[in-house]
A and B are shown apart, each in its own frame.
Chain A
Amino acid sequence: MGRAKDVLISAALLVVGRHRRPRLGDGERIVPDGPAERGWESVAIVLFGLAALSALAFPILYGLDVSPSTQLLGISLGLSLVLAGAGLVVTAHKLVVTEEIEEDYPPEEHPEEQELVDRIVQESGGRLTRRRLFGLALGGAGGAIALALVTPVVSLGPVFRISPLLGTPWRRGRRLVDEDGRPWLASDIEENDFYTAFPEGADDEELGSPLILVRLPKHALRLPEHLRDFPANGIVAYSKICTHAACAISLYRTPLFAQDEPRRALVCPCHYSTFDPADGGSVIFGPAGRKLPMLPIHVDRKGHLRAAGNFDEPVGPSWWGVRLRKPNP
């Protein structure tokens, strides 16, 4: 019986311990030893345990969909990560040794290796007789292939067609409608408020479409000669798109307190470009570099507002050709 046991044990040792090699001697440790820190070890174990509990709460909260779920899920997941992290920090500072080892920085350079690389390249090209021409041809081929490879990028957009930037859907006779397509009556437009209008039957989202309408008292209008007949019954229509950075102008400053706010103004909330609605849309303040485009309008026999033509200036932010032409047509 005892013999059988011995055989079994030695067989097991043979199987399990077959590849075992002698360990490093105890005297020559690589990582220095330190005292046990049972207290801190307990702290780390508790932190990891709490992290596990907090993490286990996540699937439970998720499954039960307890409200407020975003907050509870965030606390459970966030806390478990922070606790586990804290456990690791305790481990780093208290449970493993903090070594301060010094060693050499890597060498600044390797002159021999540099020399060898240079020679390898030089000697490899030793059979070439017209090196410069060879290099030129190879480089030329590379450049041409690169050019060919980037050519399809042009398909991304109408890169050479800039006329859409100058176009707007406004034409003589086109009615001004609101967001739901109902035509604006001149009598809808009251003083000290502003209104948004669109060209009937066109795309509202086009930069050339939206208008901002305000009614000014007749005496307040100070329009230059060529814009004199642009308003209708004191109603002025401007492009709603700021000429600075294409945001929508959605603030109308009316002089409720003459001292603080001396002039009526249309203001863009993005960078506070400020335009004067009384004199054709000139820039009073802010970064816009061009006046606000003005649309000529008139009132038809039913009292509806209609365009009397296109804007006096191109709509939208400035680009290289923005001053070259008037809006189409």
Chain B
Amino acid sequence: MIRKVVRFVDQRSGGAPLLRKTLRYLFPDHWSFLLGEVALYAFVVLVATGTYLALFYSDSTAEVRYHGPYRPLQGQEMTEAYHSVLNISFSVRAGLLIRQTHHWAADVFVAAILLHLLRIFFTGAYRKPRELTYLLGLSILGVSLLEGYLGYSLVDDLLSGMGLAIGYAVAVSIPFVGANLAELIWDGPFPGTHAFFSRMYIAHVFIFPILIAVLLTAHLALVALRHHTQFRAGPRQTERKIVGMPTFPGQTPRSLGLFLITAGVLFLLGGLAQINPVWLWGPYHTYSSTNGAQPDWYLGWLIGALRLMPGWDFAIGRYTVIPNPFWGGVLFPLAVFGFLLGWPWVERRFVSHDYGYHNLLDRPRDAPIRTGIGVGVFTFVAMIFVAGAADRIDVLFGWSYTSQIWTYRIAIWLVPIAIGVVAHRVCVELLEGEQAERSRRLAEELARRDGERHTLEEPA
């Protein structure tokens, strides 16, 4: 049977040699290599659930009155877009399950990419010959952040409207061209025209997903062409020899199993853990807002940066060169991405002076400077992320918002440096410990051999 199928395909495509090679393609084994896979599977779930949602969603901003099953919004005026999302949630059978699964999948997708990125960074997996793979991965992360933002902006409830208002302010804040750019995107000043929602919709369901899919394909193709990196588990793994299990039979059930478990967990979350209850916030109007509004987690670092900036626009005379939201909303993420994009080249030029090929991964301790700087930058971003939740911290723990912001404004510069230095120190000490351990063992070995020689000599 299998033979027949293979023959049929081979006779028509000549693909048997490729298929045979693919089945025996090697995958080194380590749990941390699965993080990227989880992201890929979350993306599959996103495309599947998103396609279903698109069959019910309307991007129209025409005003309608709500007469659905959800009592508190009875008779309220709202856009057709928000109305259609309420319908998906209350009137389409299994609609809420799919919508919540979609939202959870988006959160897990970005989280998995981030963890994958941290693994890549701290093991030096981005080094030659995999710099392009790394750059493609970073661009997937960037596009995904925008894609997620567009996704929850389409709902047109109060939270998504507030998010769009902030997005508009960030867009107009771009020096010299911001206002013109925003007028282009919104088809006029905020809140824009109906065309703006159509644009978001087509970008969210067509342009960005295809962009992600193309980048993802290139990313995976490069991974396959250069083969996977590996940790040095023993003498068999070298820069030239890859040790791993083949696609079939070893890797296939593992990957398929991980895919099913990822999808299963996402559907369990979608069914059991409420996320973004859009009906609670009501429709958006430019003149309404709510306290305690928080974006999806992956934009928390940006809201933190926007909140931490001291209150000034940079103006020369009456010309406003840098309006305030530019710092936190554009410059900060650009700087973080710039650091990540440039790091492989900065490292080899100024830190390691290592221009060689690498198939073996570093442990974080093997590159103390990289680890120190990476931990410092990560702490910096993480602290700004926490600052984005300062109002929640105020409510939960009673630490006043104002004094928190002043503390963070200073601490985000000092703490990362301190933690980075500590991380560097820990790496160095671990390496020294290993070195000492090796010398001790060597000395013992020598002593033992010495003893053996004596025992050999004694009878004589």
Contact = CB atoms under 8 A, between A and B. Distances in A.
Interface of A: 19, 30-31, 62, 65, 69-75, 77-89, 91-92, 96-106, 108, 153-154, 156-162, 164-165, 196, 198, 204-207, 209-210, 240-241, 244-251, 268-273, 283, 285-290, 316-324
Contacts of B184: 153-154, 156-157, 159
Contacts of B312: 289
Interface string B229-248: 00000001001111111100
Contacts of B260: 81-82, 84-85, 88
20 contacts: A69-B93, A74-B268, A81-B261, A82-B265, A85-B257, A89-B258, A106-B226, A153-B184, A165-B179, A165-B183, A245-B169, A245-B306, A246-B168, A250-B291, A270-B303, A318-B323, A320-B176, A321-B320, A322-B320, A323-B320
B97 interface: yes
Q: How large is the interface on B (under 10, 10 to 19, 20 to 34, 35 or more residues)?
A: 35 or more
Contact of B313 (A159, A161, A289): A289
Interface of B: 7, 24, 26, 93-94, 96-97, 100-101, 129, 162, 165-166, 168-170, 172-173, 175-191, 195, 199, 225-227, 236, 239-246, 249-250, 252-254, 256-272, 285-293, 303, 306-313, 315, 318-321, 323-325, 328, 357, 359, 391, 401-402, 405
B309 A287 contact: yes
Contact of A162 (B179, B199, B253, B313): B179
A69 B93 CA distance: 8
Given A88-B257, A205-B285, A320 B179 contact: yes
B226 to A, nearest CB: 7
A271 B307 contact: yes
Nearest to B401: A272
A251 B183 contact: no
A29 to B, nearest CB: 12
Given A244-B325, A283-B311, A105 B244 contact: no
Contact of B188 (A104, A154, A157): A157
Given A81-B267, A288-B311, A290-B313, A268 B289 contact: yes
A98 B245 contact: yes
Contacts of A71: 271-272
Given A82-B261, A105-B241, 18 more contacts: A70-B100, A78-B265, A86-B257, A91-B257, A97-B249, A100-B244, A101-B245, A157-B187, A161-B183, A210-B286, A244-B306, A247-B162, A270-B293, A272-B401, A319-B178, A321-B320, A322-B320, A323-B320
**Majority SS of interface residues in chain A?**
loop
Nearest to A324: B318
A161 B188 CA distance: 9
A209 B398 CA distance: 36
B201 to A, nearest CB: 15
Contact of B328 (A80, A91, A269, A287): A287
Most buried by B among A73, A245, A288: A245
Contacts of A164: 183, 188-189
User: 3 closest Cβ contacts across the A-B interface?
Assistant: A74-B271, A81-B264, A289-B313
Contact of B239 (A69, A80, A102, A105): A105
A158 to B, nearest CB: 5
